[in-house]
Chain A
Amino acid sequence: MTAHSAIQPTHVTVGDAKDKNWYIDKSFEILMFICGISAIIFVVGIFLFVFKEGLGFILGDMNFSEFFLSQKWRPTSLNKATYGILAMVAGTAAVTGLAMLICLPISIGAAIFIAEFAKGRTREILKIVIEFLAAIPSVVWGFIALSIMNPLIINVFDVPMGLGVLNSAIILALMAAPIVTSIAEDAFKAVPDTYREAAEALGATRWQTIYKVILPAAKNGLLSAGLLGVGRGFGETMAILMASGHSINIPTSVFDSFRALTATIAAELGETAVGSPHYQSLFAIGIFLFLITFIINMTADFIVRGVRKG
């Protein structure tokens, strides 16, 4: 009942409410609902597809201890095919770890500058440039790795080859920097201004305020920014394929070449027979990657929720 009808009662029957506008309204509601749940349908669909393709291998040829503990990835061997991903897991983990070591200080520093110091135009320009960094295609980062970083590393460190953990980590750090910076900035923004005011009114300098109040208050948000960076590191494919050297090997120095889980799938999937154990084993790697990024993202999400509640 609207206010109008309360003042001047009219005899509206229930059936009259379903006029043209009612149908437009209803159909848009349904359309939006479909759009809304399509994301869920796609995620579930992708997961089911990947799982279905990989399942035959997991139930059949796969030997769990070999899969996770052997470094021998020889899916095309005629005598005895082995499917060990240990070297690739180690390589991916090493490069992600190193990338985060490079990325986090830079990104958090940038976020502190943007959130706490930069004002007006400086801040806007910085934010736009950082977002632009996020828009650079992965393969272009690969170009940079091959044609700029590679000779640079060879010259600076006097090593025979510049493709490997260090190169990949630097590229990955730059690729993850925009998202980590922007989430870290959100974490700083979420710290109530009354904390800054309180600390400054007690005579704290800007740096003391940041160090003693803002950073501890934002630490959960920063942790989740770091985790999303890690998720990015595990999932990145093309740039790493180009920067890693792509040789199966547990890296023991930052100049060693390695092979990433993702890059293996990208490089080999096109050459396998659909349904073969090799094809299926690549899907098993996909499931493994899916689970890892899923866990990382969920953890980051829970941490962020924790921030909002506290």
Chain B
Amino acid sequence: MTTSPEFAITTKDMNLWYGTFQALFDINLRIKKGIITSMIGPSGCGKSTFLRSVDRINERLGYVRITGAVDVFNQNIYAPSVELSQLRKQVGMVFQRPNPLPISIRDNVLFGYRIHNDSGRKISKSDEEAVLEDALRQVLLWDQVKDRLDQKASVGLSLEEMQKLCIARLLPVKPSILLMDEPCSALDPKGTAAVEELIWELRGRYSILIVTHNMAQARRASEECIFMLMGKVVEHTSTEDMFVAPAHQETANYIEGRYG
């Protein structure tokens, strides 16, 4: 591959089953690199399932089966040679409920950085400090937490700060894709606005795929939009077109709030 690929995630005829229940049907998507793509659709339509199969975290369940192809930057991530640890270094995930690890703020941010240190030599203290500060500055959290880096991350932080921390800990391993599963649904309006602003800030540096229930959020905070229904992709266009002139009746119905 000489030219850098145009698409971050591409799927071809992807089907997914939980046991005998089929959750995704013939997903063919090409998600562009470097922009924010949002996924909308009613509960149970498979958007989170799709998201969770891009970093293969779905497999923890043990009864998930997938056919078809899922490529991340033209690499088939379901090929037998793929190492999960490497895939998850490249594809970071932000969960619905902020889930900081029960260790200090510092250790949270450096968690991925330390486990992906394959060089064999020990990371120097000053190196760690620089990485830590950079990550926390990128998520606009440095000023709030710089005096309590050794405090436990699960206490004393607001949900908004926790979610920012969860984004911050992805950055030191330099992922190219960030998956976000309703990252603001546990937050109050002020926190939502702050995290949305942050996501918008990260645009360009990362390819971001964000699942949301909040139509206004999809409209505000994404450049392309995917509408899913009953495990199928109905429409994938620019967000503007989706909300102004949807091509399908189902999309229009959903956007106008006739079901959801």
Contact = CB atoms under 8 A, between A and B. Distances in A.
A63 interface: no
Q: Which of B88, B93, B99, B169 has the most CB of A within 10 A?
A: B99
B231 interface: no
A216 B102 CA distance: 8
Nearest to A204: B115
Given A119-B62, A194-B97, A216-B103, A199 B92 contact: no
Given A208-B115, A212-B111, A201 B57 contact: yes
A202 interface: yes
B9 to A, nearest CB: 16
B42 interface: no
A61 interface: no
Q: How large is the interface on A (under 10, 10 to 19, 20 to 34, 35 or more residues)?
A: 10 to 19
A40 B89 CA distance: 56
Contacts of B170: 202
Contact of A203 (B86, B99, B166): B86
Given A202-B169, A202-B170, A217-B102, A194 B95 contact: yes
A202 B102 contact: no
A102 interface: no
Interface string A202-244: 1111001000110011000000000000000000000000000
B57 A197 contact: yes
A197 B95 CA distance: 9
Contacts of A203: 84-89, 112, 115-116, 173
B157 to A, nearest CB: 15
Interface residues of B, number: 27
Given A201-B93, A203-B89, A203-B112, A195 B99 contact: yes
Interface of A is mostly: helix
A29 interface: no
A195 B101 contact: yes
A268 interface: no
A213 B93 CA distance: 18
B258 interface: no
A213 B55 CA distance: 20
Nearest to B84: A203
Interface string A183-203: 000000000001111111111
Interface of B: 55, 57, 60, 62, 84-89, 92-93, 95, 97, 99-103, 111-112, 115-116, 166, 169-170, 173
Q: Which 4 A-B pairs have the closest CB atoms?
A: A203-B88, A202-B112, A194-B99, A201-B93
